[in-house]
Amino acid sequence: MSEKEKTEGQIKKDELFYSKKSAFELRSPEELGEAKEYAEGYRKFIDAAKNEREAVVYVSALLRDAGYKEYRLGDKIKPGDRLYLNNRNKSLIAIKAGTGKIDDGVRIIASHIDSPRLDLKPNPLYESDGIAYFKTHYYGGIRKYQWATIPLALHGIVRKTDGETVDVRLGDEPGDPVLCITDLLPHLAKDQNQKPLNQAFTGEGLNLLCGSSPYFESDGKITEADDKVKLNIMIALNEKYGIKEADFLSAELFAVPAQNCVDVGLDRWLMGAYGHDDRVCAYPSVTALIDSGDTEKTSIIVLADKEEVGSDGVAGMQSSMLLDLISELASNLGGNSNVIRVNSKCLSADVTVCFDPMYPEVSEKKNSALLHCGIGLTKYTGAGGKGATNDCPAEFLAEVRKVFDDAGVVWQTGELGKVDQGGGGTVAKFIANRNIDTVDVGVPVLSMHAPFELISKLDLYEAHRAFLAFLKY
Ligand code: MN
Ligand code: MN
């Protein structure tokens, strides 16, 4: 319908109502092409970085290529410096010192680079009835049944007492063996089928099958030693990685899906992969920083660990690392850290729920993020009547809306499901608690926390554009 044919009521409706439009409607064919191209860079990252350590390694290399230098607390900082702080190989903070007055505040984008998975226990290896297993302790919010009968890879490090770090990455390359959790056959699942979904699989039952043959002595005979299969696997581990069983105590070994990122759907607009939450926000925050050029405001990109388990510890968002860094900026650039924080602005960049037509009953559609409609802007997360969340003040939300609108970013509102359906939270509150204006933004995800999550290439690209606009304003 042309403008001429519209009634006054229809024109008023267009003017006054908030409506979501998809990026397919709002972006030009060229821009759609750019989004697909951008996604290829992300694909490389998500395949290379299946845990926080690998993300730190990958992002450090990206930043070095862009001229960033490694920084340690206490080093000198001057205007224009491009730096990154590797926090114990588990989290990373990139800094671009601005040219303006530091007391005017900094721009922070904080995301996380850990994802739900199965961690090996400190003493994991055992055998039962001729099969060897690794015992696991799941990390973060998983739906346990989703992790059975899929190929799992093993990623992480073993730190030996002599200081050597052994990198482990097994199961992703073609021809690599994988690990697996078995499940019952339907023929014998009568009792299991009666159990509620959250009880059919137990945490202690998530054991990874990792071998099934005994050790053979040099004369070709099966060993007389006990635990023949465990011994065989321990010898294989010793030959491949030079480790002994006690070394598992100082290891961080994670079972993650062996599947790499693939396009989903014949039109190739969705990407299916493990760990979009939250590396799908971490990656665009880094590319936006690199593309942002010289800015008046100092930019800080935080890639935190431990978000999935409450953000505790030295590499989590609750550690004092960000505050310490702001203190360093203050002392180096002639400011006051209290003043810097009260004038700073932060996007807490974490994935949001994408409305799923298969499960409409858990979301309230008017307030849910929709697929392809851009980055979600979430005033609050939390649960049980907005509990345990940063409920962003309207003033700052309006400011962010304007930044996105002025830059032509495709964005939308998003809420974490229906009231009292469940809920969740992220790092926003830990930053806001430090007197920094903070709002949640993020890419909508289907099947969040599953071994295979889906995101839209369009929403991913809008995240990059949104972050770029935020760093430059
Ligand atoms: Mn997250
Ligand atoms: Mn999560």
Residues whose beta carbons lie less than 5 angstroms from ion ligand 2: 277
Q: Output the pLDDT for position 387.
A: 92
Q: Tell me, in angstroms, the distance from the centre of ligand 1 to residue 246's CA.
A: 33
Distance CA 286, CA 467 (A): 9
Q: Tell me, in angstroms, the distance from the centre of ligand 2 to residue 116's CA.
A: 7
Ligand nearest to the CA of 278: 1
Q: Tell me, in angstroms, the distance from the centre of ligand 1 to residue 416's CA.
A: 12
- Alpha-carbon distances, residue 295 vs 76, 95, 300, 315, 470 (angstroms): 19, 12, 12, 28, 11
Q: Which two tokens stand for residue 193?
A: 């089928």
Q: Tell me, in angstroms, the distance from the centre of ligand 2 to residue 114's CA.
A: 8
User: Region 343-350: what's the mean pLDDT?
Assistant: 98
Ligand nearest to the CA of 304: 1
Tell me the sheet residues that pair with 126: 133
Distance CA 259, CA 447 (A): 15
Q: Output the pLDDT for position 83.
A: 98
User: Region 360-387: what's the mean pLDDT?
Assistant: 95
Q: Tell me, in angstroms, the distance from the centre of ligand 2 to residue 351's CA.
A: 7
Q: Tell me, in angstroms, the distance from the centre of ligand 1 to residue 277's CA.
A: 5
pLDDT at 414 over 70: yes
Distance CA 305, CA 247 (A): 23
Ligand nearest to the CA of 279: 1
Q: Output the pLDDT for position 409.
A: 98
Domain with CATH 2.30.250.10 in the chain: 117-257
Look up the pTM and report it.
0.98
Residues 243-258 as b/e (b if ≥16 CB within 10 A, e otherwise) read beeebbeebbbbbbbb
Q: Output the pLDDT for position 149.
A: 98
Q: Output the pLDDT for position 258.
A: 98
Q: Tell me, in angstroms, the distance from the centre of ligand 1 to residue 319's CA.
A: 17
Q: Tell me, in angstroms, the distance from the centre of ligand 2 to residue 150's CA.
A: 20
Q: Tell me, in angstroms, the distance from the centre of ligand 1 to residue 318's CA.
A: 15
Q: Output the pLDDT for position 87.
A: 98
User: Region 307-332: what's the mean pLDDT?
Assistant: 98
Distance CA 107, CA 281 (A): 16
Ligand nearest to the CA of 115: 2
Q: Tell me, in angstroms, the distance from the centre of ligand 1 to residue 296's CA.
A: 30
Q: Output the pLDDT for position 376.
A: 97
Domain with CATH 3.40.630.10 in the chain: 16-115+274-472
At 28, the pLDDT band (50, 70, 90 cuts) reads very high
Please name the amino acid found at residue 117.
R
pLDDT tens profile 202-211: 999 999 999 9
Task: Report strand pairing: 69-70 vs 262-264.
Answer: unpaired
| Burial degree of 309 (CB within 10 A; 0-12, 13-18, 19+) | middle
Task: Report strand pairing: 270-273 vs 411-413.
Answer: unpaired
User: Region 396-401: what's the mean pLDDT?
Assistant: 98
Ligand nearest to the CA of 453: 2
Contact status, residue 68 vs residue 82, Cβ threshold 8 Å: yes
Distance CA 184, CA 193 (A): 10
Ligand nearest to the CA of 112: 1
Q: Tell me, in angstroms, the distance from the centre of ligand 1 to residue 390's CA.
A: 15
Ligand nearest to the CA of 449: 2
User: Region 442-446: what's the mean pLDDT?
Assistant: 98
Q: Which two tokens stand for residue 354?
A: 């994408």
Ligand nearest to the CA of 113: 1
User: Which of the four CATH numbers 3.40.630.10, 2.60.200.20, 3.90.79.10, 1.10.645.10 does domain 16-115+274-472 have?
Assistant: 3.40.630.10
Residues contacting 249, CB < 8 A, separation 6+: 122, 123
Ligand nearest to the CA of 110: 1
Residue 340: name the closest of 302, 303, 297, 301 by CA: 297
Ligand nearest to the CA of 351: 1
pLDDT at 1 over 60: no
Q: Tell me, in angstroms, the distance from the centre of ligand 1 to residue 406's CA.
A: 27
Distance CA 470, CA 352 (A): 19
Q: Output the pLDDT for position 211.
A: 98
Share of the chain above pLDDT 90, in %: 97
Residue bearing tokens 């297993």: 133
Q: Tell me, in angstroms, the distance from the centre of ligand 1 to residue 427's CA.
A: 9
Distance CA 384, CA 113 (A): 27
pLDDT at 330 over 90: yes
pLDDT tens profile 209-241: 999 999 999 999 999 999 999 999 999 999 999
Angle, helix 457-472 to helix 276-291, in steps of 10 degrees: 40
Torsion on CA atoms 458, 464, 466, 467, rounded to nearest 10:
160
Q: Tell me, in angstroms, the distance from the centre of ligand 1 to residue 88's CA.
A: 21
User: Region 274-303: what's the mean pLDDT?
Assistant: 98
Residue 330: name the closest of 109, 105, 110 by CA: 105
Q: Tell me, in angstroms, the distance from the centre of ligand 1 to residue 307's CA.
A: 7
Q: Tell me, in angstroms, the distance from the centre of ligand 2 to residue 2's CA.
A: 44
Is the domain spanning 117-257 CATH 2.30.250.10? The answer is: yes
Q: Tell me, in angstroms, the distance from the centre of ligand 1 to residue 200's CA.
A: 26
At 3, the pLDDT band (50, 70, 90 cuts) reads low
Q: Which two tokens stand for residue 164?
A: 């050597």
Residue bearing tokens 């290829």: 40
Q: Tell me, in angstroms, the distance from the centre of ligand 1 to residue 117's CA.
A: 13
Q: Tell me, in angstroms, the distance from the centre of ligand 1 to residue 361's CA.
A: 22
Distance of CA 432 to the CA centre of its chain: 20
Q: Tell me, in angstroms, the distance from the centre of ligand 2 to residue 422's CA.
A: 14
Q: Output the pLDDT for position 2.
A: 61
Q: Tell me, in angstroms, the distance from the centre of ligand 1 to residue 404's CA.
A: 22
Q: Output the pLDDT for position 282.
A: 98
* Three-state SS annotation for the chain: CCHHHCCHHHHHHHHHCCCCCCHHHHCCHHHHHHHHHHHHHHHHHHHHCCCHHHHHHHHHHHHHHCCCEECCCCCCCCCCCEEEEEECCCEEEEEECCCCCHHHCEEEEEEECCCCEEEEEEEEEEEECCEEEEEEEEECCCCHHHHCCCCEEEEEEEECCCCCEEEEEECCCCCCCCEECCCCCHHHCHHHHCCCHHHHCCHHHCCEEEECCCCECCCCCECCCCCHHHHHHHHHHHHHHCCCHHHHHHEEEEEEECCCCEEECCCCCEEEECCHHHHHHHHHHHHHHHHCCCCCCEEEEEEECCHHHCCCCCCCCCCCHHHHHHHHHHHHHCCCHHHHHHCCEEEEECCEEECCCCCHHHCCHHHCECCCCCEEEECCCEECCCECCCCCCHHHHHHHHHHHHHCCCCEEECCCCCCCCCEECCCHHHHHCCCCEEEEEECEEECCCCCCEEEEHHHHHHHHHHHHHHHHC
Share of the chain above pLDDT 70, in %: 99
* Cα angle, residue 360 at apex, residues 359 and 366 outer, rounded to 5°: 145
At 173, the pLDDT band (50, 70, 90 cuts) reads very high
Least confident of 177-191, 418-432, 457-471: 418-432
Q: Tell me, in angstroms, the distance from the centre of ligand 1 to residue 242's CA.
A: 35
Q: Tell me, in angstroms, the distance from the centre of ligand 1 to residue 283's CA.
A: 13
How high does pLDDT run on average in the chain? 97
